[in-house]
Structure 1
Amino acid sequence: MVCKNCKVALLEQNNYCPNCGGKVIRKRINFRNLLNDFGAQFLNYDNKFLQTFIALFTQPNDVIGSYIQGTRKKYVNVISYFAIAITLSGLQIFILNKFFPEVLDLSTVTAKGTEDFSKKNLEFINEYQSLVMMLYVPLYALLARLVFLKNKKFNYTELLVIFAYILSQISIISAVITVIFALFGVSIGSMALFLLPLQIIYSAYCLKALYTLSAEGIILKTLMFLVILGVCFFLFAMIMGVFMYYSGDFEKIIEAQKAAKEVSYTISSLINWTS
């Protein structure tokens, strides 16, 4: 008998390969074996993913800082963790579209007449969610580099690692919370109002641990980060506004808002007339 992984000869009493450490599988695959493998890979306490997920809440500096310093075996590496986060986010979007399409209604958090535009934006983000997430990492790393310009503890590449871990953790927990909230009929717009402050707090918590800042220091840096981010989004909105103006979408939104006001006025007039 030989190891199916490295082809080294095995003894009959071997349960693990002495060369590569692979487990010796003697039985054919059945449903029970699959459940056991799933539990061993994802649910046991020694599992790297579970350890990484918990440690990113309890001691983010140990996960992120140790990876930057060269540790690779203790926790899930940043690329794998980012890939897991993208996969779970994609699964979350599939679940919402398939089973809870009503929670994707943004009418409660958007201005009258802009519902279609907001819906198109949401559909674009959902369709290209992995790309959007990957673009956020270098953007946030760049903003952090500007905020911590005088603090040379981490270079730009290391900040990419930091925000890849942070955004992955935020994405995973957001996916879980979103699906749970969807069970109770909470719209995704309302979820965003709840999740956004948590994302800011968690990011600040991680950066505080990594940069060993005081409470006052991280509050100041967070405010600076948000101001710069706000400027970036404002410039992006200006560019999008120019694009919408020349493409004709801006006029459609204005017409839709006018129509919405006219409908509201008509309804209020009827109510006043009947009363």
Structure 2
Amino acid sequence: MPNCLNCHEPIAKKASFCLYCGAKVVQERITLKRILSDFVETFFGWDNKYFFTTWSLVVRPHVVLEEYASGVRKKYVPPLTYLIIGATLVLFSLTFFLDTYMNDLQGINENLKASFGIPEVKNTEGLEGQVSQEIQGQIIKYFNLVTLILIPIYALFTSLIYRKTYNYAEHLVFNSYIQGTSLVFIFIFFYISLLTHPFIYSITTFITIFLYLYSFGKLFKLDAGTSILKLFLFLVMFVIFIVVFIALLVGIALLISKLHN
């Protein structure tokens, strides 16, 4: 009786999988056809957890959230991993194509100014370009970090607003999945905007809002009015947080500037 090449336990001669470790029994030699077949099966087949998780979160997000919280986890990518994959896809896109997107957007803004007869301010083109490059650099440098830091903030807000049944840790899971799905749409619409019109990218804001509205509404079995009200409270809390955070940063910067002077 042959042994499994992975765990070295005995297996039947005609077995397709090892009963002990679950590894597939491979008897044929490596060929180009086998390599391509494995690639397609791994990355594009329904066996791929990432694509299955993404598709499930698009068509029935509340089911994924409920199942994962109740212990159904094997068929889904873990929430933090799912979030990091989405953030990495977006970061890759921003790293290589953000400059193209910003140039397209600047060209449209200039055309709009010309259409409405808004006068150009001389000697500002270089300054605008420098500021634009600095903003792009900061976005790329801190994108993944900011994405991860904001998840606990989102979870705090949703746990306060949707207080029934689930604890804070479970809200971390919910927000990681929703934000990870939002990043997938950002990734897709970013490239669509490059090929069509930069303003197409702004659709992702409404998609993210809808994901929260639909996911939490279904998960907590809320009517449309209550769902909209709770989402509005969530957005208000987030805006207040951003305003306070920016005010603190400005205050700290001014304080440091005075201390240096």
For Structure 1 versus Structure 2, the TM-score category normalised by the shorter chain is 0.7 to 0.9
Any conservation in 2 of the 1:93–1:126 contact (CA below 8 Å)? yes
For the 8 Å contact 1:17–1:23, the answer to whether it is kept is yes
Provide Cα deviations, 1:78-124, integer angstroms capped at 9, x if missing partner.
23322322332233234425xxx321346467xx8666445423322
What TM-score do you get using the length of structure 2 for normalisation?
0.80
Secondary structure class of the residue paired with 1:17: coil
d(CA) in 2 for partners of 1:104, 1:38: 35
1:102-117 equivalent positions in 2, closer than 5 A:
102-105=100-103, 107=106, 116-117=130-131
Q: Tell me which residue corresponds to 1:143.
A: 157
The CA distance in 1 between the partners of 2:91 and 2:33, in whole Å, is 27
The answer for the alignment partner of 1:127 in structure 2 is 141
Q: 1:181 is aligned with what amino acid? A: S
Aligned 1:40-51 pairs, distance under 5 A: 40-51=41-52
- Matched residue SS, 2:234: helix
Aligned mate of 1:153, from 165, 168, 191: 165
Give the distance between the partners of 1:178 and 1:244, measured in 2 at CA.
33
CA contact (8 A) 1:144 1:225 kept: yes
- TM-fit CA distance, 1:192: 4.5
Match of 2:216 in 1: 207
Aligned equivalents of 1:42 and 1:27: distance in 2? 22
Contact 2:186 2:201 in 1 (8 A): no
Letter in 1 for 2:182: I
Q: Distance in 2 between matches of 1:237 and 1:116?
A: 22
Normalising to structure 1: TM-score of the pair?
Answer: 0.76
Kindly state the Cα deviation for residue 141 of structure 1 after the two structures are TM-superposed: 0.7
Paired-residue identity, %: 27
User: Taking structure 1 as reference, are residues 47 and 133 closer, same or farther at Cα in structure 2, changes over 3 Å only?
Assistant: same
For the 8 Å contact 1:125–1:132, the answer to whether it is kept is no
Partner of 2:39: 38
The one-letter code sitting in structure 1 at the alignment partner of 2:144 is S
Q: For the aligned residues, what is the CA RMSD? A: 2.7
Separation in structure 2 between the aligned mates of residue 123 and residue 191 of structure 1, nearest angstrom:
22
Alpha-carbon separation, structure 1, partners of 2:88 and 2:45: 21
Counterpart of 1:166 (choices 175, 178, 183) is: 178
The separation in 1 between residues aligned to 2:15 and 2:93, in whole angstroms, is 42
**1:34 counterpart letter in structure 2:** I
Query: Aligned in 2, Cα 1:145/1:30: closer, same or farther, shift over 3 Å?
Result: same
How many residues are paired up?
Answer: 239
CA distance in 2, matches of 1:130, 1:29: 38
C-alpha distance in 1 between matches for 2:173 and 2:3: 40
Unaligned runs of 5+ in 1: 249-275
Residue 113 (structure 2) aligns with: none
* Distance (whole Å) between structure 2 residues aligned to residue 78 and residue 29 of structure 1: 34
Secondary structure, counterpart of 2:3 in structure 1:
coil
Say whether residues 1:78 and 2:85 are aligned partners.
no
Q: Which runs of 5+ in 2 are unaligned?
A: 110-123
- Per the TM alignment, residue 76 of structure 1 is displaced from its structure 2 partner at its CA by 2.3
DSSP 3-state at the match of 2:75: coil
Structure 2: how far apart are the matches of 1:41 and 1:156? Answer: 34
* 2: CA distance, partners of 1:122 / 1:135: 19
